[in-house]
Amino acid sequence: MTLARVATHPFLARFNLRLTISMVDGCSATSELFPDTGGVSRRNIYLADSNRLYVVGQFDVRRFDAQNCRIDLVEFRSLEPNMTFVGSFDVDGKGNWTFLPAHARAERAFEKQ
């Protein structure tokens, strides 16, 4: 899984986000996420009991279903119960965009808007 973050403005913190998931069986799916127009790039990654992977942001949720090899935009109320936090794509202490696994940094929940 990769989540690319590309700057779209030379001076402001604005970014486009592109999620790509590739499986060893040849399945590959890509989705453009809602852009970051002011400090909301972080995406939490969860694994559900159904083996679906969820990418949760402040304003959007993407669900990856390996059986159908697709990424769907879903509503927050569609989140499955008892999901396991895997980690986050976020900036680290040095300001670099990276994946931070759950053992390196605890889950940071999103504030309700």
Other beta carbons within 10 Å of 63: 21
pLDDT tens for each residue of 27-86:
999 999 998 887 788 999 999 999 899 999 998 999 999 999 999 999 998 899 999 999
Q: Is the dihedral of CA 48, 52, 56, 59 positive or negative?
A: negative
pTM of the model: 0.90
Q: Which of 84, 16, 73 is nearest to 51 (CA)?
A: 84
Please determine, for residue 113, whether its predicted confidence score (pLDDT) is greater than 70. Answer: no
The residues near 78 (Cβ < 8 Å, ≥ 6 apart) are: 61, 63
Cα separation of 47 and 99, whole Å?
15
Measure CA of the first residue to CA of the last residue in the chain; give whole Å. Answer: 28
